[in-house]
Every structure is written in structure tokens, then in C-alpha cells.
Structure 1
Amino acid sequence: MPTFVQILDFIGTFAFAISGIRLASAKRFDWFGAYVVGFVTAIGGGTIRDVLLGVTPGWMTDPIYLICTGLALLWVILFGKHLIHLHNTFFIFDSIGLALFTVVGVGKSIALGYPFWVAIIMGSITGAAGGVIRDVFINEIPLIFRKEIYAMACVVGGTVYWVCHALGLQSYGCQVAGGVSVFVTRILAVKYNICLPILSGSGEEEDNKDKD
């Protein structure tokens, strides 16, 4: 039987793959191209995390990630017309994947004995890096570089996970608390237009002077 962490990982893979494939379909990619985008969205962050932690990436030892991406592609093929027209679909699936992958990354880092700051960074990489690769593939500015709260939601969730772990809460309780924190932070940030300040440089001031 799969463990709770494995179930979270599979659901996150499916959710992230759908978010990538859905955007690829909106860009009119063919089936293979959409599958590739969905796959790198789903496994990109986890692969970078595992390489940094010195372990073999999960998709290289278990074909379930390839299968999950295939199921996600089939889902979009069957219900694509509805998904493309639902503007909130990408946001919901992306937020679910972000939350689940963050807690998986934090939990794996803690299990390997790394300190909490490394665990939080690894959780953020697991959650956000796949989306960066996805956006590069579809020729968009990566979401984490825009005003929206994205990677910071991973940091919030990772911190909540670690605090719960430090207080002695069982692992599944830490995972639920951390995942919910990521999801709620992302939802509230978008709903109430909460964002980080934009860094304005001297170049922008010079451009404005030139326009004047």
C-alpha cells in the first residue's frame, strides 16, 4: 500500500501535470508537446530537489509519474473544451500541486536529516521549480517572477510544517497543516490582490525621463 506521502506526491503530480497540459493546450501544442510540458511541470521541482539532496529522482525508479502525466493528458483531451474555458481551473490545479509538492519536499528533507532552513528551501524548490520550467517551455514569464505570491506561499507552508514538526506533531499532521497553509496563502493572496513590492531601479527612472 502506498504511504500518505506517496499519495500526496501522486496527487500533486496529477494536479501539476494538468496545469501544464492545460496551458500547453491553450498554446495549441500537439499531444506529445503537451505531455512533455505536463511531465516537466510535474517532476521538474522534485528532480532538482533530489539532485541537490543527493538521491535518485523518484521518476527514474517508479513509472507512476509517467503514468500520472499520461492520465492527466487523457483528462485534458476528454474535457479540454471545458478546462480551457474555465479560467480558474489552472489556478486551482496549480495551487493544489504547489501545496502538495511543498510538503513532500519539506518532509523528505527533514527525513534525510537536513536542518529546517534547507527543508524550507527544498520544499519551495519542489513546489515552484516545475512551474518555472513550464512557463519557460510555453514562452511565458515565470509566475514566481511576477507580483503574485507564489514561492513565498511555499516558504509560509514550509515554515508551518517545520513549526508543527518542532512541536512534536505527527508527520501527517505536519503535512496537512503545511499544505493547507500553502493553499490558503495562495488563495488569499490572489483574492485580495496581496503581492510583494516591486523593485524599481534607476533604469526605470531613466526610461521615464527619456519619455518626458
Structure 2
Amino acid sequence: MPTPLFAIPLWIDLVAVAIGAIQGAMFAGRFTDRRMDLLGISIIGITVGLGGGLLRDILLGGVPAALLSNWYLPVAAVFALLGMLLQSLFNRLGPLIITLDAVTIGLFGVIGTTKALAAGLPEIPALFVGVVSAVGGSVLRDMMLNVPIAVMHVGSLYAVAALMGCGLLVTLVVLEVPITAAAMICVVTTTVIRVLAARFGWTLPQQRAIGSWPHWRRRGSIQPLRFWPRRRTQAHPEPTVTADR
């Protein structure tokens, strides 16, 4: 039996789009050397606000929800411009913006995951669609600005929060928990992880090979297994050269 779709009111979806557009414009505003105009800022804001949903619906082979209503594009454009013009104000509201953004990640993840499950996708692909829906806008933003993609580098647990929340949602759906309760738990989990990571600076460890871990061969630490004993080689004494008498 397909999973029922978790539907949210249009106004909540538009608030999530607006928060994404504000964050996109604030991020783009840091690059003053790029000399972007109002249209450029609007495009970045629209991309962040709607990008995740567009990628989600493209993966599912449907018409993007943002193209089925007259509200999404204007809301994203207007709030992108507000994010640029009122950047100093929004910077002072940093904790509030981070919290709202975390809720937005959770909502987009829930919508993407349940939409994929309702379309008949297995659990793991549905989890992938949910994470793409949650972080796809920021990935497109970084690509358009030609900067390192944030979710692939050491930083606050943005994609990890979405992954944990969507993974918990899939698990609860498999356990036949009502979809509304499962969705709310997912949003709360994603929000808490994201906010705590931003507050305390939690990050994933930077990539490195095992052999380069610090103090890997310190005495008393775990050593790699050896199935054959290391051969001991005796140093051959150098031949003594005696002078002819």
C-alpha cells in the first residue's frame, strides 16, 4: 500500500520558500566583487527557495509544484530582494533565521521523502529524494556562484541533519507510525540537529587516510593486524679491510 502524502498548507510552503530566498540573497550579498544586480540576486534567491523542490519533482518525473501556482516565483523573488536590501537587519536576527532555516530543511525533507514513498519508490531511493529536496537549493546556489559546494566540505551539519531526519521518517513509516506524527518527529529531529550543530560548531571529521591519523602508531594504541610476523633481518657486518704490510 503506498504511503499517504504528507500535505502542508500552501502558506507554510511559501514561508519555507521565503526563508530560503532570504538566505540565498544574504549569501550572495557577501560576494560584492561579483557586482551582481537586482536580477542576479533575485535569481539566486529563487534558486535557493525553489531549487530543492524543482530537483525533487524532476527526479520523480512530474511537473514541479512551483510551476503549478502563481505564488511561488513572486514570493521567492520579492523575499530575495528583501534579503539583499535588509541584509544588516537579517544578520542581527541570525539565530532566528538559522532556526527557521532548520525547520525549512525538515519540511522540504518530509515533503520530498513522503512524495517519493507515495509514488511507489523503495525506502532508500525515497530517502535520497528527501535529502535532495532539503539541500538541493544550496547546492545549485554554490554552483551558480562558482564557490565550493558547502554540503561537501567541513561545516555545520546541514546535509547530515536532513539525512538523519529523513532516515528517521522512513524508519517510522516502515514501522507503520501515522504519517503526520512521523513527519512532525522528522521536522523536530532535523531542526534540533541543525540548530545544535550551528550553535556548538559540530562538524564531521575532515577526510584523511587511516595511516595519516595522528598518533596512529603511538605505543598502546590499536595497531593494524598482521597475519605474518615481520622478518627480522640481521645487518651484515662490513668486511674489515686490513692494510698490506
User: Shorter-chain TM-score: what band?
Assistant: 0.7 to 0.9
Match 1:112 to one of 119, 125, 146: 119
Structure 2 runs not aligned, ≥5 long: 1-6, 213-245
Aligned to 1:151: 159
Closer/same/farther in 2, CA of residues 44 and 73 from structure 1, 3 Å limit: closer
Aligned to 1:21: 25
Tell me, in whole angstroms, the C-alpha distance in 2 between the residues paired with 1:46 and 1:194.
Answer: 27
TM-score, scaled relative to structure 1: 0.83
Aligned to 1:173: 181
Match 1:138 to one of 139, 142, 145: 145
What is the Cα deviation at residue 118 of structure 1?
1.3
What is the Cα deviation at residue 16 of structure 1?
0.8
Per-residue Cα deviation, 1:137-189 (whole angstroms, up to 9, x for no partner): 23432220122312121111011212232333332222211111111111222
Aligned to 1:49: 56
What is the Cα deviation at residue 123 of structure 1?
0.6
| Larger-Rg structure | 2
Greater share of residues in helix: 1
Aligned to 1:31: 38
Give the share of equivalent positions with the same residue, in percent. Answer: 25
Match 1:9 to one of 9, 13, 16: 13
Closer/same/farther in 2, CA of residues 144 and 15 from structure 1, 3 Å limit: same
Tell me, in whole angstroms, the C-alpha distance in 2 between the residues paired with 1:27 and 1:90.
Answer: 20
For structure 1, which segment, 121-130 or 167-176, has the greater mean C-alpha deviation from structure 2 after superposition?
167-176
What value does the CA root-mean-square deviation take over the aligned residues?
2.5
Closer/same/farther in 2, CA of residues 132 and 44 from structure 1, 3 Å limit: same
What amino acid is the match of 1:10? L
Tell me, in whole angstroms, the C-alpha distance in 2 between the residues paired with 1:81 and 1:197.
Answer: 32
Aligned to 1:207: none
Structure 1 runs not aligned, ≥5 long: 205-212
Per the alignment, in what secondary structure is the counterpart of residue 62 of structure 1?
coil
Aligned to 1:161: 169
Asked whether the 8 Å contact 1:102–1:123 carries over to 2, the reply is: yes
Per-residue Cα deviation, 1:63-116 (whole angstroms, up to 9, x for no partner): 221022133135335633312455546534432322221111111111112111
